[in-house]
Amino acid sequence: MSNIVELRHLQKHYQQGELIVKAVDDVSLTIEKGDFAALCGPSGSGKTSILNLIGGLDSVTAGHVILENINLAELDNAALAEVRKNRIGFVFQAYNLIPVMTAYENAAFVLDLQGVDDKIKHERVMKTLADVGLAGLEDRRPGQMSGGQQQRVAIARAIVTEPAIVLADEPTANVDSKTAESLLDLMETLNREQGVTFLFSTHDQHVMDRAKRIIHILDGQVESDELKAE
């Protein structure tokens, strides 16, 4: 397998009064194509900070984030935005859907930014919505959908662009356990059948049970990195 992401001595520090908080403290690891991996740890351990640095949503204090051989720290804001738009899919615990848009429009949002031809966009969005179990619901707005359905729209939006990696920050946090299992079934299927690479941040046991690789984060450092037996 080839590396999608390589973190080299990654650090992220925050100033709190006179204190310097090391949210990420010298983390080095790789995420490979086809991974179904979870960054696990308690709140405040640094897992979301790592995810945000990989996604280019935050800047590094020191070290490097290499995404498909591109060093994100060397990019200006415009180039970084292009990488986020074209190579990274995001799934957030709060869904982050646009409430006035339909499921179809939310799923198509990044394709619109990419300038994808309308016919190709329509085919890809309709297929992706069907793949995530939302066929027939494309005209519903977020307020007309359950939490699980909204998260499926968010997953569709994340994968419709065929990104290098999908970063999912606590994707099951706002749904019940049955819905969480259903969402994990979906993401597992996308990983297995379409080769979608997923990296989660989570403290949800449901996600940890399903992940093929568990990366334990504590106090901003990698405590352990375990690949489960098939």
Mind listing the pLDDT tens digit for each residue in 113-155?
999 999 999 999 999 999 999 999 999 999 999 999 999 999 9
Residue 228 DSSP code: P
DSSP 229: P
Largest interatomic CA distance in the chain? 56
Q: How far is CA 56 from the centre of its chain?
A: 12
Among 197, 152, 156, 206, which residue's Cα sits nearest to residue 178?
206
- Beta-bridge partner residues of 66: 6, 71
Of 186, 190, 163, the closest CA to residue 5 belongs to 163
Q: For the chain, which ranges sit under pLDDT 70?
A: 1, 230
**DSSP SS3 for 57:** coil
Contacts of 191 (CB under 8 A, 6+ apart): 34, 36, 197, 198
This prediction has a pTM of 0.93
Strand order in the sheet with 36-40: 88-92, 165-169, 198-202, 36-40, 213-218, 221-227
Q: Between the CA of residue 25 and those of 55, 94, 152, 219, what are the distances in Å? A: 18, 27, 33, 8
Contact 179, 148 (CB under 8 A): yes
Distance CA 202, CA 206 (A): 9
Instruction: Report helix angle 77-87 to 103-114, nearest 10.
Output: 130
Asked whether 110 and 82 are in contact (CB, 8 A), the reply is no
Instruction: Report d(CA 85, CA 210) in Å as an integer.
Output: 28
Listed by start position, the domains of the chain span 31-61+75-227
**What integer pLDDT is reported at residue 1 of this predicted model?**
57
Q: What pLDDT, on a 0 to 100 scale, did the predictor assign at position 226?
A: 94
Topology of 31-61+75-227 in CATH? Answer: Rossmann fold (3.40.50)
Residue with tokens 């945000």: 52
